[in-house]
Amino acid sequence: MENKKLNICILGTRGIPNYHGGFEQFAEFLSVYLAQLGHQVFVYNSSTHPYKKNSFKEVQIIHCFDPENKVGTIGQFVYDYNCIIDSRKRNFDVILQLGYTSSSIWNKLLPSKPIVITNMDGLEWKRSKYPKPIQQFLKYAEKLAVKNSDYLIADSIGIKQYLKNKYSKNAKYIAYGAHLFNSPDEKIISKYQVKPYHYNLLIARLEPENNIETILDGVILSEVKDPFLVIGKHDVNKFGKYLKNKFKDTNIRFLGGIYNLNDLNNLRYYSNLYFHGHSVGGTNPSLLEAMASKALIIAHNNEFNKAILNENALYFLCKEEVKTIIEATQKKNYKQRIENNYQAIENQFNWDIINKNYLDFINECLFKAPESK
């Protein structure tokens, strides 16, 4: 089975190369890895994606109409519908579905031949950006995704346990990955008007459940007035605009979205403190990249972050704790924790290991798949 060349598609993302976030970064790395091994790999791209070619590093791109920029969130459902309808015309062996937020209601339209493997992502219904009716819908969508997938993947131990407890379903635990960063260049960060180890950093989508306001409130309380850089699109939602307005005329600088990985890695490497506020589950790629870039990580205190970082980070729950950490912490005093995280990337969360785990699991699923599929 492992020698068979497979016909694999990845859907559920906005497309590759990555211009958006974690799932897109993962889809890019995994699809290229599989294609370079000789598998036929297809990734669905939104029509709004800036990359318009029909292939990327041996991966075939299928462009599907996405009206989200015109009609808002409902456009995600239209885009996912278009992707799934297109998949019915093709002869895929495997459909790897990344997330379920808007695609799950169309699951019954998926072609019957391929096996469907779904990475369940985090606990989407816990995201406070969604009003109560949407949260209820997302709980329903989660249930549909579990029911209609042949196999499940959880990117954190916490999500794996949740799926077992809630649905009595076994999910395969496979985390995300990162590439080790070992080529720092001070000239890179000079573009951002900062000096090595004299600024602090946060990289995240600007959403409430990422505890960004708590972190920034702590920054303002602190006596330390070094630059605090916030990287993430601040002009695409109300919360981002609210934060930028609330913290204007302070030492907090909103840089917008940055997708040059070398720039991001250098900014992480030369930061004094790197804040990670994510709290609704899943192994966040930006956390692993911070570990791989030898950042000193200050993380929100929850089971998902602690499962990855263990004792190799400092933790916060409130703005007062953020203030205390900023005032009392210098990166140079935590070399062993930083090195432990770096070794964890090398030994557990390296992209080569993660990609191979995915391929091994795909082959395992194909081997187990009933002949009627």
Residues 25-43 have pLDDT tens digits of 899 999 999 999 999 999 9
pLDDT-derived band of residue 2, with 50, 70 and 90 as boundaries? low
DSSP string over 156-182? SHHHHHHHHHHH---EEE----B----
pLDDT in tens, 277-310: 998 766 778 899 999 999 999 999 998 899 899 9
Percent of the chain at pLDDT above 90?
A: 68
Q: What is the pLDDT of residue 371?
A: 46
If one compares 68 and 65, the residue with the highest pLDDT of the two is 65
Q: Does the pLDDT at position 91 exceed 70?
A: yes
pLDDT-derived band of residue 369, with 50, 70 and 90 as boundaries? low
Closest CA to 179 of 262, 98, 276, 96: 262
Q: What is the pLDDT of residue 156?
A: 82
Indicate the DSSP class of residue 297. Answer: E
- Quote the Cα angle for 127-267-298, to 5°: 50
> Which of 98-107, 209-218, 348-357 is the least confident region?
98-107
pLDDT in tens, 245-267: 999 999 999 999 998 889 999 99
Q: What is the pTM of this model?
A: 0.81
Half-sphere exposure of 289 toward its Cβ, with a 13 Å CA cutoff?
A: 21
CB 148 within 8 A of CB 114: no
Q: What is the pLDDT of residue 294?
A: 98
Q: Could you tell me the domains of the chain?
A: 7-177+350-368 (3.40.50.2000), 186-347 (3.40.50.2000)
Q: Does the pLDDT at position 123 exceed 70?
A: no
If one compares 108 and 189, the residue with the highest pLDDT of the two is 189
Two structure tokens written together for 217: 């409130």
Q: Does the pLDDT at position 60 exceed 90?
A: yes
Q: Does the pLDDT at position 206 exceed 60?
A: yes
Q: What is the pLDDT of residue 307?
A: 87
pLDDT-derived band of residue 185, with 50, 70 and 90 as boundaries? very high
The dihedral sign for the CA sequence 359, 147, 95, 16? negative
Q: What is the pLDDT of residue 125?
A: 61
Given 3-state DSSP classes, what are the helix, strand and coil percentages for the chain, each rounded to the nearest 5? Answer: 45, 15, 40
Strand order through the sheet with 297-300 = 252-256, 228-231, 200-203, 273-276, 297-300, 314-316
For the chain, how far is it from start to end, CA to CA, in angstroms?
16
Q: Does the pLDDT at position 373 exceed 60?
A: no
